[in-house]
Structures are given as structure tokens and as C-alpha cells.
Amino acid sequence: MARIWLARFAKPWIAGWLSLSAAWLLHEIVTFGFQYGFLTRKREVLFFQYPSGLAEIVVVALVMSWVAAVPLALACLVLRQSRPRLPVLGVIWLILCMWGYSATASGYREHFGATWLWHEPFVELMWSPWLTPLATLLGLLPFLRIIRKP
């Protein structure tokens, strides 16, 4: 019995973990690597002043999404036979994804202005009318496809 519950938990947890980390990494690497130049070393600051390197960004994204996928997997278990399962899980995934975007942008706060409110680093630094929806959809759609069957 425990194996069945573990298997039912593992599939959405792994799907959530990988899809959230893919969306966060794509968005952060494009934004802070190419747009602002932190990861491509084009930003005019000393080496030790960079917020982080690519390896640290990957590790942090994997750990954050690993933790964020736990409530997502629990919601999958609770909503296993529910009719509005996919829309509800999609909304939960979007909330967790936006939390990750905001947490990521807040890490760069001191390099652009430390007086921002909690949401302003994301709005000012990361929001893009094409990248944000694209990165989000590239994470959300595979997640929903993988968990479509309970």
C-alpha cells in the first residue's frame, strides 16, 4: 500500500520538480545572462560582486523547485479523482512558478535598488511580454501532460 502512495506521489513530484526548474532556469539565464550580462560577464562590476555563477543558479533552482514540488505532489494526491484536477493543479503550478520568479529576481535586488517592495524586482527586472509567458508555458504544458492521468 505504501508503495502505491509513493508511486502516486513520485510522478507528480518529479514532473513538478523538473518543469519548475526548467521554467526558472530558462527565464533567469535569458534575463540575467543575456539581458543584463551577469552570467556572460559583460556587466561592468568586479568578479566577486556578481550575484552568482551559473553553477550556483542551477543548484539553487533545482533545490527551490525540489521543495516547491512537494505541495504540488500533495495536491495531486488529494485531487486524484477530482474533476477540476488539471485546472487546479495548473493554477498551483503557476503560483509556485511566480513565487520562484519573484524569489530569483529578489536575489539581484542590491544590484539595482534595495528599496523595492517584494514584487518590484520581478516586475522591473524579469518581466518580459514574450519571455515570461514562453518560459512559463514551456514548464507548465509538459507538467500537465505528464500528470493528466492519475
pLDDT in tens, the chain (150 residues): 778 878 888 999 999 999 999 999 888 888 877 766 666 556 555 545 555 566 777 788 889 999 999 999 999 989 988 889 999 999 999 999 999 888 888 777 766 666 788 788 888 878 888 889 999 999 999 999 999 876
Beta-carbon contacts of residue 145 (< 8 Å; ≥ 6 apart): none
Query: Grid coordinates in use for 70?
Result: 512537494
Please list the alpha-helical segments (H only) found in 43-148.
54-78, 85-106, 120-121, 131-146
pTM: 0.83
C-alpha cell at 88: 487546479
The answer to whether residues 75 and 86 touch, using CB atoms and an 8 Å cutoff, is no
**How far, rounded to the nearest angstrom, does the alpha carbon of residue 59 sit from its chain's CA centroid?**
12
